[in-house]
Amino acid sequence: MSLEISKAFVDAILEQSRAEYPDECCGVILGPAGSNKALRHKPMINAAHSPTFYEFDPKDLLSLYREADDNDEEIVVIYHSHTETEAYPSRTDIAYAGEPGAHYVLVSTRKEIAPATEFRSYRIVDGVVTEEPVTITA
Amino acid sequence: MSIEVRIPTILRPYTKDQKSVEAEGATLSAVITDLDANYAGLGERLLENGALRRFINVYVNDEDVRFLGGLDAQIKDGDSITILPAVAGG
């Protein structure tokens, strides 16, 4: 398993994470159902507005899934930022992870590390985290 | 009386991979009991200590059940229930 993602999306996610700092940012990238292709970026609002928690608003969540269904799309990537810790799933991230087919992307805005090195992707299935390689395309 | 219940990917192992199943019940609680009777184990994935799990969102038609009385939410024939895992973390 690996994630292939365009540089434009990586840049947009990192930009969003800086813009929303000190809160965590979040969003998804959708693709045609069954394709595993990350093609349509959709930033989401962090309803928790918190530096240590993120949550899609339940109404936004329903709209997102309805929209994906209507477009015959699936959620390929679910991403969020960590503000002061490494881009690795927290215990809370693991407890909540409810999309076994999605790539869970984490970025970090912590200062001591260059942002480009803090874009990482994982599978989280039944509480087990598996990091996967990320290929950034032009 | 028949209610459509839309099942998220993570719970489809309980419904033989069906995206949507039929259930019965006059309240959300009764619908979940009915679901669990037909799809063993599903109830436990939705409830914890008799309450809806924090990680699960349930909607009746387009409304979050937390605003409809939670497990006591009234369900009527033809309603559509959607179950979605919360997207959240720390």
CATH number of the domain to which A77 belongs: 3.40.140.10
Contacts of B89 in chain A (CB under 8 A): 53-55, 80, 89-90, 92-93, 95-97
Q: For chain B, which residues lie within 8 Å of any Cβ of chain A, measuring from their own Cβ?
A: 8-10, 55, 57, 59, 62, 64, 66, 82, 84-90
pTM score, whole prediction: 0.93
Looking at residue A78, its pLDDT comes to 98
| Residue B45 domain flag | yes
| Residue B39 domain flag | yes
Structural domains of chain A, count:
1
Q: What whole-number percentage of chain A has pLDDT above 90?
A: 91
Its domain, for residue B76, covers 3-85
Q: Whole-number mean pLDDT of chain A? A: 94
Residue A58 to residue A37: CA distance in whole angstroms: 25
Q: Which CATH number characterizes residue B77's domain?
A: 3.10.20.30
Q: What is the mean pLDDT of residues A66-82?
A: 96
Please answer whether residues A33 and A42 qualify as being in contact, where contact means their C-beta atoms are separated by less than 8 angstroms: no
Q: Which amino acid is at A129?
A: V
The pLDDT tens digits for A82-92 are 999 999 999 99
The pLDDT tens digits for A22-68 are 999 999 999 999 999 999 999 999 999 999 999 999 999 999 999 99
Q: Structure tokens of A10?
A: 């990586």
Contacts of A53 in chain B (CB under 8 A): 88-90
| Residue B90 domain flag | no
Structural domains of chain B, count:
1
Say what the ipTM of the complex is. 0.93
Its domain, for residue A54, covers 3-137
Identify the band that residue A110 occupies on the pLDDT scale cut at 50, 70 and 90. Answer: confident
Q: Structure tokens of A8?
A: 């434009």
Q: Do A80 and B66 touch (CB under 8 A)?
A: no
DSSP label at residue A87: S
Q: Structure tokens of A39?
A: 């093609």
Q: Do A62 and B82 touch (CB under 8 A)?
A: yes
Closest by Cβ to B8, choosing from A28, A96, A98: A98
Contacts of A98 in chain B (CB under 8 A): 8, 10, 55, 84-87
Looking at residue A114, its pLDDT comes to 59
Looking at residue A46, its pLDDT comes to 98
Residue A115 pLDDT > 60, yes or no? no
Q: Which amino acid is at A68?
A: A
Residue A112 pLDDT > 80, yes or no? no
Q: Please give, rounded to a whole number of angstroms, the shortest distance from the CA of B25 to a CA of chain A.
A: 23
What is the block-wise mean pLDDT of chain B (90 residues), using blocks of 10 residues?
A: 92 96 97 98 96 95 95 96 97
